[in-house]
Amino acid sequence: MDSASLPFDQALFPEGTKRCKLKWFLLWIAALHGPLTVGAIAAVLCWGLALNVTNLNNNYPFGLWIAADLGVIALGAGAFFTGFLRYIVKIDELKNIVNFAVVIGVVCYAAAQGILGVDIGQPLRGWFIFWHANVHSMLTEVAFCITAYFMVLLIEYLPLVLENRQINKLGFFHGMAHHLHEAMPAIAAIGVFLSFFHQGSLGGVPGVLYGRPFAFREGFLVWPWTFFLFILSAIACGPCFTILITWITEKCTGKKLVKRNVFDILARISGRLLAVYLVLKTIDTIYWIALADKAGAPFSSFYANQPYGYWVLVLELGALGVIPMLILLGEKTRKNENLLILACVLNCSGIFMNRWIMTVQALAVPVMSFDKFVPYIPNWVEFASTLLFVWAGAIVISISYRYLPIFPQEKELNPQ
């Protein structure tokens, strides 16, 4: 091959893989910087001019940001759950996607923390959550676990970096990567533990709000039922998100990167978990209706405020729950790539919707009888600063894909 026609940075590519010209790559990265800059401007406005630039208000202390935060962390569950399946349940096939799941996880968790950095009113004091920690607060639990887990994710990501063709040539880094690989099951186990906790705690965030009958749930020990439902819903959708992002990466690169049987394993597990989740969620909903009714808040009052009508419930549990579940459970439907991707999209949207409902709708429902319903629609600042992390994530994924040996099956699936 003529070395002059090879990309300038070819030496950094994973062994035996092909990548586009550096020029095109840089152009792609530059293109992502467009919307990223808009998002950065939005974030700077929040910090410079205070949060009055958003549509948040005293009725909606939580808005798009918190819903997105909870959503993105649930999607990131693909990382720890795939790790769990790979290293602890030992489904060996998943080694072909676990690396990418980690990359996606890093992006999701970084996004969650980034969004929170914009959301809080005094970001410079953000660390008070650790310094003045209140052990009773679900948010404290979330903060500690997420931060710890993010470090775990970075440690899981590190060997991928060290295995870069050039870095790996350096003996020290090579050895380090090797050792990290050895330790991976143990690290994954810590990650699983932490993740279960913070996914649950995120469920606890709305679930403990006993002043908000819409969100409040009874529970087990110190945890409201939402604690467990959040864990379950996160692991039911995380794998779908991993499939979805892998599929999108394949479409962007024009290559097959992972064998379909790997997708199928994840999809099957996702479908079953989703089924379990939906059963429990339905029981929870019925119990909640009865409980609220007994306490004097008729169920109908929760859905009396437009746009939050009963359709919300139908959409969340039906269209974004039962339908993807059926697709994922059916062997034939699951193996149809179009249907599979549709199921993944529905499943992931369902998570977002659920997190929105549990935070924003929970605040939208007036509690005092003389309280008025106030509508809330996020404004561009909130959208742009939330999407900022999507663009940043795309950049991280692009760079990681280009330079790091993420997909073990890539060489096999794309012979030179």
Q: Which residues bind another protein (CB under 8 A)?
A: 8-12, 50-52, 56-62, 116, 119-129, 131-134, 136-140, 143, 166-167, 205-206, 208-213, 222, 295-298, 300-301, 304, 359, 362-363, 365-372, 374
Strands 219-220 and 223-224: antiparallel
Q: How far is the CB of 7 from another protein (least distance, A)?
A: 10
Q: How far is the CB of 200 from another protein (least distance, A)?
A: 16
Max Cα–Cα distance, the chain, nearest Å:
78
Q: How far is the CB of 256 from another protein (least distance, A)?
A: 28
Q: Answer whether 369's CB lies under 8 Å from 24's CB.
A: no
Q: How far is the CB of 90 from another protein (least distance, A)?
A: 33
Residue (158 or 189) nearer to another protein, CB: 158
Nearest to 139 by CA among 131, 124, 129: 129
The separation between CA 90 and the C-alpha centre of its own chain, rounded to angstroms, equals: 23
Residue (137 or 285) nearer to another protein, CB: 137
Residue (10 or 333) nearer to another protein, CB: 10
Residue (53 or 323) nearer to another protein, CB: 53
Residue (8 or 310) nearer to another protein, CB: 8
Q: How far is the CB of 185 from another protein (least distance, A)?
A: 26
CA torsion angle 132 136 140 146 (round to 10): 140
Q: How far is the CB of 145 from another protein (least distance, A)?
A: 12
Distance CA 234, CA 413 (A): 30
Residue (7 or 35) nearer to another protein, CB: 7
**Sequence-ordered alpha helix ranges (H) in 163-224:** 171-207
Q: Answer whether 261's CB lies under 8 Å from 93's CB.
A: yes
Q: Answer whether 140's CB lies under 8 Å from 129's CB.
A: yes
Residue (132 or 332) nearer to another protein, CB: 132
Q: How far is the CB of 178 from another protein (least distance, A)?
A: 18
Query: What DSSP letter does each residue of 381-411 carry, written as one string?
Result: HHHHHHHHHHHHHHHHHHHHHHHS---TTHH
User: Strand locations in 101-239, DSSP E?
Assistant: 219-220, 223-224
